[in-house]
Amino acid sequence: MQEAVIRKLPSTFVDKIWGVDRLPAPFPHPSQNRIGEVWFAPPDELDELLVKYIFTSERLSVQAHPDDRQAQGMRLGSMGKSECWVILDAEPGATIAVGFRDVITPEEMRASALDGTIVDKLVWHEVRAGDVFYIPAGTVHAIGGGVSLIEIQQNSDITFRLFDYGRPRDLHLDQAVQVATTGPYPEQLRTRMGKDAGLLVDGPHFRLHYWRAQGSVPLPKLGQAPSLLIPFSGEVSFEGETLGAGDCALASAIHDKSVSGDGLLLIAQARY
């Protein structure tokens, strides 16, 4: 049996103009500025994936990301970016946008980005805790205000903004239109955490499971690959390390291992 090593990943707090004035517990608020993201440093053993928390008080920009092939063709020096969102909390009526209501042409997309009507062409989904959206590269998307979520993504920072509500940041219309999917979001890519366990994302770059610990229970048999353990709620213990909401840890192996405590755990693994 492979010995499992676990270590918590260091985090970085990122100021954002659309962030929140006060982070929810258990996070400290380390500055006088609005905090929008908390990033966890990708470990060398699993540097294909990046985990972050996102907290919004306003709508984020409308954007799209390239896939691996497009990023390589654009000579961006990075992999593409597919991601998923796990909703932690949401104010009543809070929404996220993924995909268009109808198929549009690239020319229509550019024109609507310039005049702001792109916001109305997107589908805005009301969200609540436990909702999960897999966002393949190319999907035009935006996060609304009043949302807290966990994002698991390919470790890439390539973002092409189509519309940003007049904020003084650069747009990337040519690149965004080039990589964007022009139709509706596939409904099967949206799911929700149930009572005990399940597979949330089975994409080409990573898988995401969830697992409920009540007492001491064996973890799912997911092979010998390293895993990122991200508590969604409660507190769990694995190999002598206690993890709670706001933590992210690397486990070198979880096969034939058990977790104890009372909490809901996300388990992310890269696809090789």
| Residue 154, beta-bridge partner list | 49
Query: Which element (helix H / strand E) includes 107?
Result: helix 106-115
| DSSP E strand boundaries for 33-154 | 35-40, 49-55, 62-64, 83-90, 95-100, 122-126, 131-135, 141-143, 147-154
Give a three-class secondary structure readout of 187-226.
HHHEEECCCCEEEEEECCCEEEEEEEEEEEEECCCCCCCC
Phi, psi (5° rounding) for residue 83? Answer: -150, 170
Instruction: Give the SS3 label for residue 169.
Output: coil
How far from chain centre, in Å, is Cα 260?
26
> Which of these is catalytic: 59, 161, 207, 212?
161
On whether the CB atoms of residues 82 and 127 are closer than 8 A, the answer is no
161 catalytic per annotation = yes
- Residue positions annotated with a catalytic role: 161
